[in-house]
Amino acid sequence: MQGGIAGFSDHLKHHADTVSRIIRIFRGNKNSALSHLSKCLYHVHFGNNDYISNYFDTKHFSTSHRYNEELFADLLIQTYRERIRVGD
């Protein structure tokens, strides 16, 4: 995405696309690809874009009119909780 800010859902979509490409690299052997990926370390840094773009940019987004800061934080936490899982 050039000139824009990718949201959390966009990042998850890009990750899913990358996983699909890795499975193809492993010649369609999903188990081998997932075994390989299970050894990866993921670093997740999130939240800044959600606040800057969706909450504090009142010129382009109405989020801050619909939620106070605490409710918006709760919404983000719930969204992340639903989409992030930690493996064994």
Q: Which residues contact 30 (CB under 8 A, 6 or more apart)?
A: 23
pTM attached to this predicted model: 0.62
Q: Which H/E stretch holds residue 19?
A: helix 8-25
Q: Give phi and psi for 56, each to the nearest 5.
A: -90, -15
Mean pLDDT (whole number) for 59-71 = 88
Q: Tens of pLDDT along 22-36? A: 999 999 999 999 999
| Distance in angstroms (rounded) separating the CA atoms of residues 88 and 33 | 17
